[in-house]
Amino acid sequence: MKGKELLRRLAALGAEIEKARGKGGHQLVRYQGRKAPVSTHGNVDLGPEYIKMLCKQLGIDPKEL
């Protein structure tokens, strides 16, 4: 899954994407009081372990994505 696609799916779940926060190819995502940076380096595919780690930080079940 690409970083931009992940951001779209997180936004559909109700996560807030802060584009002004984060450096370079990263954006800050807030979801129910938790926050985590999401990598959006061009069209690079994000690995399943990265997505699982991100979901754990945000308290989201990876199957919901």
pLDDT tens by residue, 18-55: 877 667 788 899 999 999 999 888 788 999 999 999 99
Q: What is the pLDDT of residue 53?
A: 95
CB 45 within 8 A of CB 5: no
Q: What is the pLDDT of residue 65?
A: 85
pTM reported for the whole predicted model:
0.86
Task: Say if residue 63's pLDDT is above 70.
Answer: yes
What the chain holds in terms of domains, given with CATH numbers, is 3-64 (3.30.920.30)
Pairing label, strands 26-31, 34-39 = antiparallel
Q: What is the pLDDT of residue 41?
A: 81
Tokens 């926050």 belong to residue? 35
End-to-end CA distance of the chain: 10
Q: What is the pLDDT of residue 22?
A: 65
